[in-house]
Amino acid sequence: MKQVIFFIIIFCSYSVMAQKNYKQFEVAPFQETDPVLSEGDAADDIAIFVPNQSIEDVLIIGTNKKYGLETYDYKGNRLFEYPFGRINNVDLLRGYEPNEKGLVALVGGTNRSTRSLDLWYLHSDASITLVKSTQTDLKDVYGFTFYSDEIATYAFVTDKKGTIYQYQIFLNADNIDLTLIRKLKFSSVIEGVVGDSKRGLILAAEENKGLWSFNAHPFKPLNKNLLLNIKTEGLKADLEGVAIINDFRQSKDYIFISIQGSNSYGILDAQDYKLKGIFKIISNNNKIDQVEETDGIEAVMLNSNEGLFIVQDGLNGMDNQNFKLVMLSSILKQIPN
pLDDT tens track of the chain, all 337 residues? 545 444 444 444 434 434 468 899 999 999 999 999 999 999 999 999 998 878 888 999 999 999 999 999 999 999 999 999 999 999 999 766 556 567 789 999 999 999 999 999 998 888 999 999 999 999 999 999 999 999 999 999 999 999 999 999 998 877 899 999 999 999 999 999 999 999 999 999 999 999 999 999 999 999 999 999 999 888 998 999 999 998 877 789 999 999 999 999 999 999 999 999 999 999 998 799 999 999 999 999 987 678 999 999 999 999 999 999 999 999 999 998 7
Helices (H) and strands (E) in the chain, counts: 3, 25
Question: In this structure, are residues 313 and 44 in contact, taking their beta carbons and an 8 Å threshold?
Answer: no
**Runs of H (alpha helix) within the chain:** 2-19, 230-233, 328-332
Give the Cα separation of 161 and 16 in Å (integer). 32
Sheet hosting strand 307-313, strand order edge to edge: 31-32, 322-327, 307-313, 297-301
Q: What is the DSSP letter of 288?
A: B
Q: What are the sequence ranges of the domains in the chain?
A: 23-332
- The b-or-e profile of 169-205 (16+ CB within 10 A means b, else e) is beeeeeebebeeebebebeebbbbbbbbbeebbbbbb
Cβ atoms of 264 and 235 closer than 8 Å:
no
For position 174, what pLDDT does the model report?
74
User: Is residue 211 exposed (0-12), middle (13-18) or buried (19+ Cβ within 10 Å)?
Assistant: buried
Amino acid symbol at 18: A
The DSSP secondary-structure symbol of 284 reads B
DSSP sequence for 221-240: ----EEEEEHHHHT--SPEE
Q: So what's the pLDDT on residue 144? A: 99
As assigned by CATH, the class of the 23-332 domain is: mainly beta
- According to DSSP, the residues that pair with 87 across neighbouring strands are 111
Give which of 111, 127, 131 is closest to 119, Cα–Cα.
131
